[in-house]
A = this chain, B = another copy of it.
Amino acid sequence: MADYEKPQTAVEIGLMQGFPPAANLTVTHANQLFGPYNRWSFQNELKLNRTADVWRGKGTVVPFDYDLQDISHVTYQNRAGMRFSFDDMVEMSHTDGIIVLHQGKVIYERYLNGMQSHTLHAWASGSKSMTGTLAAMLAHEGLFSLDDLVIKYLPELAGSGYGDATIRQVMDMTTALRFAEDELDPVSENWQYSVAMGWREKTADYSGAESGYAFLPTIQKAGEHGDHFTYLTTNSDVLAWIMKRLLNQPLADIMQERIWSKLGAERDAFWIVAPSTEETSGSGLLTTLPDMARFGQMLLQNGQFNGRQIVPAEVASDFANGASQEAFARGPAASPGNVGWSYHNQWWVTHNDYHAYMAMGYGGQLLYIAPDADLVIAKFSSYPTPTPAGNEFYSAFAAFPVLAKILATQGL
């Protein structure tokens, strides 16, 4: 096995220790996304952000069956040719918590960096997959068609780059939009979006949009929709807006009624909200690790969980099918690590032997669902920033298929 450096915990770093904590070890709204501060912030998002609660309801908690396995012999070779054990992968990839479910039973579970099973942790962009799941459910209910134009429900976007986009293009992120990321330019799309959603403090002379509702209509087109995959968080916000408009409910309530109140979750979920109180539908979900795993297991079981059909089977079973691999390969997200992938209904789809698909978020948030290995892996992490290039591709994405193959073939 190759050597590696064990990441420091928030306590070892000294983050937020004492009352008051030292100034240089204080986590704030401004530094929360960056390492090492995210070693603390990802487990303390409520203290740094406004949220909308998603009540778990009054039902009983669905317990997990346990069949814990020794997986110390599961080793993988990463893309640099180094060999590590699955346990090494968990340690080195800044894991806060990981649960592995095989055939619906917990075979592996670990908490690190002070996390506990009841800790609420950030999903970051993994949240998009929750938003996409809800949108796919509403389309299945007939509330709208994926072939409808976005502006059928959001006339506010008629003059924007979304003016001729279909909901399907938004779902699969094949929209073509101008979105400059210039960190030094207060009139760049990224700057204004960050202020609108509350990630960046408003400066005294800021005169741009102050909500997603105000920002989204300003986005312009750049190219033709439908050609290739371009990952952009505003697409999730458009989906959420359509749902809210049609149901006249906040996204948190839509999720509460359709999924969270039925899942037998241990705790409430939360959405980080913008100053306007709108949910940050592409990044703001918080749950416990076991509850993320419940959501994944429910989808693996084609939506059947806790004695009922929560997500329609047609919806749940479709995620793994993915969308156009060619559109993905033509887009800017294509890399040697994700050959053959596609992006569908706000899920990353591997098209691998186990038909694995994933929710994936900044800092190492992963919900890996591999139907053909009867495997669900929920993993929360807090990678430092900037994220080491390809960290997941060097660790989790190398280790997960190895475990899937063993489980799908000879067994542990």
Contact = CB atoms under 8 A, between A and B. Distances in A.
A50 B29 CA distance: 10
A273 interface: yes
Interface stretch (A129-137, A274-282, A370-378): A274-282
Interface string A192-229: 00000000000010000001011000000000000000
Given A277-B48, A278-B19, A120 B248 contact: no
A184 to B, nearest CB: 20
A47 B50 contact: yes
Nearest to A16: B277
A245 interface: yes
Given A46-B50, A47-B51, A275 B20 contact: no
A44 B27 CA distance: 25
A105 interface: no
Contact of A273 (B47, B52, B266, B276): B47
A53 interface: yes
Contact of A19 (B213, B214, B267): B213
Interface string A1-42: 000000000000000101110000011110000000000000
Contact of A55 (B18, B28, B118): B118
A268 interface: yes
A241 interface: yes
Given A28-B275, A276-B20, A277-B16, A48 B50 contact: yes
Nearest to A276: B20
A29 B120 CA distance: 24
A140 interface: no
A321 interface: no
A199 to B, nearest CB: 14
A90 to B, nearest CB: 25
Count class of interface residues, chain A: 35 or more
A268 B244 CA distance: 26
Contact of A52 (B47, B53, B248): B47
A340 to B, nearest CB: 38
A166 B260 CA distance: 48
Contact of A268 (B52, B58, B268, B275): B268
A49 interface: yes
B18 A211 contact: no
A244 B19 contact: yes
A30 to B, nearest CB: 10
A245 B17 CA distance: 11
Contact of A277 (B47, B55, B118, B267): B47
Given A18-B248, A20-B213, A51 B55 contact: no
A205 to B, nearest CB: 10
Contacts of A276: 20, 26
Given A55-B118, A268-B267, A20 B50 contact: no
A244 to B, nearest CB: 4
Contacts of A275: 28-29
Contacts of A51: 46-47, 51
A190 B44 CA distance: 29
A223 to B, nearest CB: 29
28 contacts: A16-B277, A18-B248, A19-B213, A19-B241, A19-B244, A19-B278, A20-B213, A20-B214, A20-B276, A20-B278, A26-B276, A27-B277, A28-B275, A44-B277, A46-B46, A46-B51, A46-B52, A46-B53, A46-B270, A47-B273, A47-B277, A48-B50, A49-B50, A51-B51, A53-B120, A55-B267, A267-B268, A268-B268
6 nearest A-B pairs in the assembled complex, by CB-CB distance: A20-B213, A19-B244, A47-B277, A204-B204, A46-B51, A47-B273
Given A20-B214, A48-B50, 8 more contacts: A19-B213, A19-B244, A46-B51, A47-B50, A47-B273, A48-B277, A58-B118, A267-B268
